[in-house]
Amino acid sequence: MKNHSENPFEIFRKECKNILKEAWDNSQKEQSKNNKNSETKKISFSLDMPPSLKLGDLSSASCFKLSKQLKIPSNTLAQNIVENIDLSKMSMIKDVKVAGGGYINFYVDYEKLSKLAIESALILNTSYGYVKTDIPKKIIVEHTSVNPAGPIHVGTARNSILGDSISRILRARGHKVNTHFYIDDVGKQIAVLVYGYKMIDQPQPKGKADHWIGLIYAITNCILEIQKLKKQLKEVPIEDINKIQNKLDDWVIAADDIYERDKILFNTILDKIKKDHSPQDNIAKIMRFYEMEKPEIKSLIRRVVKICLEAYKETYSRVGIYWDSWDWESNLVWNGSVAQIIDKLKASPYYDSTGETALLKIDQIAEAMNLKKIFNVSKKLEIPSLVLIRSDGTSLYPTRDIAYSLWKLQQADKVINVIGVEQTLIQLQLRVALSLLISPKKAMNLIHYAYELVKVPDFKMSKRRGRYIAFDDILDEAIKRAQLEVNKRSPNLSVELKKGIAEAVGIGAVKYALTEVAPKKQVTFTWEKVLNFEMNSAPFIQYAHARACNILKKAENKSIKPNYALLIENIEKEIVKKIAIFPEIFIATSKNLTPYIINEYVNDLAAKFNSFYASCPVLNADEYELKEARLVMVDAVRIVLRNALKLLGIEALERM
């Protein structure tokens, strides 16, 4: 056997699969000799990880399923298979047992697994666990892509951190990944922002630019919504008055809150809007003129958007998130891509322009092309038609997104859109339209990576109302809280070192909190959980890594060869197994795009390492050989903790 492997546990797994197949085939041959009329059955055995070392290191429950087919007791089947197993040809399997009425449990030779797993980690070092794919692909990951009309908030940050982690994982797997930020600079939000910006005579930003821009947008939007609702109160039937009044009350409360943040700015915009007899018409004009590429409006919108984008880059540089491409939505309109899409769709029998707006009959396309089955959608679901063009001739976001998606699919083998779960219907409509324009097979290469919202207890976010928790503020608070903890735990460190540790701990804590939950589950963000140094958090894992570094730093360099046979404690075996399975965890994560599995894995490894530290002396071990064996195991743990955290974009600290 080689002295190292990219995937140590896979060697044991393959041996188990091969010996099961061979034993089954041998048992079938014996049966055929005894009964010439018996039918030979070829089956595929599954292998799962048992919950305890007592139950083996891999276990097969296939005999239970086979028992029903053959009408033979599962325990009898398992016994027959195990009796036909020849362990003499196996290098990693130490024992095989029947248990639980039909389970076949395999036990690994821990001396051999320890040597292979630990030495693989030490030899491969920074690349350990990152098994390369045999079929590398060009992949575009589009994430964040918010309207540049205010700061990044904690909800959007989940998008960014998930997208960044997915990109890191796919790159580590060997794929050529390009990250894209789609700049939504066309549409009403930007028009409202620019309208408000014009009202204050286009000054230079005050403070951090995206926060200032967000305030202008929120003030302008609030005032316009209140105006609109007041007008509706005079026009709606009596039975609708309460409904409108409730909405108005909510907006007035939002306006009061925004007013307190900058009274002068609020009053300036309010006075100017009051003098405008048709603000909505002027906003619509801004939208229309921008799509027409009118120089004055183009210059103004681009300037405001770029101010906001530069502020975004400043925020994301703090957390190590960058993009390979910044794609402008407006370019798709100006270069004719959107017009070409509309012309192609007009030529289809599913285009309808009989009403005020031009529609694409999505459900009819899905039925005609059998797309509901292909996209795994219920046949009963009636997919709404897609509005392509407004009555004033301007395009809508989904229409522009069709053009953008076509361009992306020309650049890559696969496109992953990290977009909120609330966009599920729009993403489905998009794929149906793409199926019509190219093919269902190519449309399947566009993947909607859906994620749920971030919930902050007792706080309801709304960018339009100016109610949000800015990502900058979350980071500042995380670092501040981490600083207090670092001061308490390591008072003797220098001020600069404590500051650097606090930054890495605070930022890591936020990243971990926003990736640890499956994407389609909501994240509840609380500081008690985010900065918990005792369990299931980035600081907890970073502390385990720092502890491993500290042990290794204190160790004397010895040339004694480690005796892996001495790693006999259950906790040592559990750690060796965790080290060995890291490549399998990584492969599964890259295949299924599940960063949270890395969170679970690395947290469990850190917890086991802490248990080991508490119960098994390393530097004061009874024997030199045992000390050496434990030291190399600690080094392997350090490597795996670091490599796993890197996939989440979290710094592995050497001191805390």
Secondary structure string (H, E, C) spanning 175-222 = CEEEEEEEECCCCHHHHHHHHHHHHCCCCCCCCCHHHHHHHHHHHHHH
pLDDT at 559: 60
Which amino acid, 146? V
pLDDT at 532: 86
Give the per-residue pLDDT at 391. 81
pLDDT recorded at residue 67: 86
Q: Per-residue pLDDT for 127 more than 90?
A: yes
Residue 469's pLDDT is: 86
Position 612 scores a pLDDT of 98
- DSSP category for residue 627: H
Is 127 within a domain? no
Q: Which of 569, 495, 545 is closest to 650 using CA atoms?
A: 545
Q: How far apart are CA 428 and CA 372, in angstroms?
A: 10
State the pLDDT at residue 342: 93
Q: How far apart are CA 397 and CA 394, in angstroms?
A: 10
Percent of residues, the chain, with pLDDT higher than 70: 96
Residues 6+ apart with CB under 8 A from 70: 41, 77
Examine the domain organization and report whether 278 and 296 are in the same domain: yes
Q: Which of 170-174, 305-309, 393-397, 604-608 has the lowest mean pLDDT?
A: 393-397
Domain harbouring 96, CATH code: 3.30.1360.70
Give the per-residue pLDDT at 33. 63
Dist. CA 63–CA 61, nearest whole Å: 6
Same domain? For 82 and 204 the reply is: no
Contact, 224 vs 273, CB < 8 A?
yes
In a domain? residue 131: no
Q: Does 303 fall in a domain? A: yes
Q: Is residue 113 one of the residues assigned to a domain?
A: no
- Mean pLDDT across 269-278: 95
Read off the amino acid at residue 311: A
Average pLDDT of span 253-268: 93
Position 429 confidence tier, pLDDT thresholds 50, 70, 90? very high
> Nearest 5°: phi and psi at 184?
-80, 80
Contact 61, 46 (CB under 8 A): yes
29 has pLDDT over 90: no
* Backbone conformation region of residue 187, classed left if phi is above 0, alpha if psi is from -120 to 50, else beta: left
Closest by Cα among 150, 283, 291 to 214: 150
- For residues 263 and 354, membership in a common domain is answered with no
What is the value of pTM for the model shown? 0.92
Same domain, 634 and 503: yes
Place of tokens 């109302």: 465
> For 129-155, how does the pLDDT look when each residue is reduced to its tens digit (9 = 90+)?
999 999 999 999 999 999 999 999 998
**Which of 422, 455, 488 is a domain's end point?**
455
CATH number at residue 599: 1.10.730.10
Cα–Cα dist 158/402, whole Å: 25
Which tokens sit at 635?
A: 């080094």
- Say how many Å lie between the first and final Cα of the chain, rounded: 39
Helices (H), 35-85: 62-70, 74-83
The answer to the question of residue 298 being in a domain is yes
Q: At 323, is the pLDDT very low, low, confident or very high (cuts 50, 70, 90)?
A: very high
Over the chain, what is the mean pLDDT? Answer: 92
Question: How large is the average pLDDT for residues 283-311?
Answer: 96
Mind listing the pLDDT tens digit for each residue in 582-641? Answer: 999 999 999 999 999 999 999 999 999 999 999 999 999 988 899 999 999 999 999 999
Quick: pLDDT tens for 502-560: 999 999 999 999 999 999 999 999 898 898 888 889 999 999 999 999 999 999 766 66
Burial of 622 (0-12, 13-18, 19+ CB in 10 A): exposed
Q: Is residue 209 part of a domain?
A: yes
* Domain boundary residue, one of 420, 455, 490: 455
**CB neighbour list of residue 400: distance below 8 Å, 6 or more residues apart:** 186, 329, 332, 333, 338
Report the domain count for the chain.
4
Counting beta carbons within 10 angstroms of the beta carbon of residue 353, is it exposed (0 to 12), middle (13 to 18) or buried (19 or more)?
exposed
Going by pLDDT thresholds of 50, 70 and 90, the confidence category of residue 356 is confident
Is the pLDDT confidence value at 466 over 80? no
Distance between CA 440 and CA 375 in Å, rounded? 9
| φ/ψ of residue 447, rounded to 5 | -110, 130
Same-domain check for residues 494 and 634: yes
Same structural domain for residues 389 and 496? no
CB 639 within 8 A of CB 580: no
CB 624 within 8 A of CB 560: yes
Spatial CB neighbours of 601, under 8 Å, sequence gap ≥ 6: 578, 582, 585, 644
Residue at 116 is within a domain: no
Percent helix, strand and coil across the chain, each to the nearest 5 = 60, 10, 30
pLDDT at 166: 98
Domain span holding position 257: 188-313
* Mean pLDDT score, 294-300: 96
Amino acid at 625: E
Q: Which of 85-89, 227-231, 372-376 has the lowest mean pLDDT?
A: 85-89
Among 160-169, 464-473, 593-602, name the one with the lowest average pLDDT.
464-473
Looking at the structure, tell me whether residues 443 and 487 fall in a common domain: no
How far is 59 from 473, CA to CA, in rounded Å? 49
Check whether residue 41 and residue 175 sit in a common domain: no
Residues 104, 162, single domain; the answer is no
Q: What is the pLDDT of residue 471?
A: 94
In-domain check, residue 122: no
Same domain, 146 and 291: no
* Of residues 411 and 528, more confidently modeled: 411
Predicted local confidence at residue 42, as pLDDT: 65
Amino acid making up residue 270: L
Together in a domain, 531 and 633? yes
Residue pair 540/603 in contact (Cβ under 8 Å)? The answer is yes
User: What's the pLDDT score for residue 202?
Assistant: 79
Q: pLDDT band for 385, please (50, 70, 90 cuts).
A: very high
Judge residue 334's burial from the number of C-beta atoms within 10 Å of its C-beta, 0-12 exposed, 13-18 middle, 19 or more buried. middle
Give the separation between CA 454 and CA 523, rounded to whole angstroms.
Answer: 5
Mean pLDDT (whole number) for 68-96: 90
- Over residues 173-191, the mean pLDDT reads 96
Mean pLDDT of 13-42: 76
CA–CA distance, 517 with 530 (Å, rounded to integer):
12
Each residue's pLDDT tens digit, 209-247? 999 999 999 999 999 999 999 999 988 888 889 999 999
List, in order, residues 6 or more apart from 218 with CB less than 8 Å away.
150, 254, 258, 463, 464, 465, 466
Tell me, yes or no, whether 291 and 385 share the same domain: no
pLDDT of residue 606: 98
